[in-house]
Amino acid sequence: MIIELDNVELYYQSKPILSNLYLKVETNCLTTVIGRNGSGKSSLLGILFGDIRPKYRLIRIDGVPVTKPLYTLGNIKMLPEFPMTPGHLSIKTAFKKYQVSWDLFKSFFPEFKPTSDHRFKILSTGERRMLEVFMVLKSRSEIVLLDEPFKSLSPIVVERFKKLILEEKQQKVVLCADNRDENWQDIAEQTYLLQNRTLVPLA
């Protein structure tokens, strides 16, 4: 699958945020967007996901224009920068919703102490992030968008997630946004720099 996001123009209260922007992502090619905080990375993911409506944008999947928001197609999941799971939900319920195996998670992270009966509101920031990154990555979606997935995670956990991302990108489109290029230098195959409201592909 090849997804192209083209001709993006986004304004907030008449202020230009993104302009003349083109992005290409595809299955089995880990793509990252690097930019400072406030540069528009989260907005870019939101436009691709479909919950942010810019002034202009064109999305193509395998060369065919898509007019509906991608989230309506049912084959995309997005991890926002901030916690996405309601605090009252139990881990068990969230994993069931995403159709992800709790036992599989425990096989990757056997040292994880909370049980599947724990609710998200009592978890630490890092524990919550681990669960949410895993659920999005291991969901049955064909397209995965990750906004600063390594935020609040320890270096050991980050390395495990890198291996998991490399596994999942073989059959999924995986796009990651981050403000630190060093998080991705060893695994990214296509990197874009977001600056001056547009994307610049890096070698």
- Tell me: the pLDDT tens digits for 57-109? 999 999 999 999 999 999 999 999 999 999 999 999 999 999 999 999 999 99
- 127-135: average pLDDT: 98
- 111-126: average pLDDT: 96
- Tell me: the pLDDT tens digits for 157-185? 999 999 999 999 999 999 999 998 999 99
Backbone angles phi, psi at 162, to 5 degrees: -60, -45
Tell me the C-alpha distance between 161 and 164, whole Å: 5
Token pair belonging to 129: 């992030």
Alpha-carbon Rg of the chain, whole angstroms?
17
Tell me the C-alpha distance between 50 and 146, whole Å: 14
Tell me the C-alpha distance between 87 and 33, whole Å: 29
Question: Which pTM was predicted?
Answer: 0.94
Whether residue 203 is predicted with pLDDT greater than 80 in this model: the reply is no
Tell me the C-alpha distance between 56 and 7, whole Å: 7
Beta bridge partners of 154: none
Cβ(21)–Cβ(44) under 8 Å?
yes
Tell me the C-alpha distance between 139 and 137, whole Å: 6
Query: If you average pLDDT over every residue of the chain, what do you get?
Result: 95
**Share of residues in the chain with pLDDT > 90 (%):** 91
Cβ(32)–Cβ(200) under 8 Å?
no
Q: Give residue 129's Cα distance to chain centre.
A: 12
- 37-64: average pLDDT: 94
Token pair belonging to 27: 């299955």
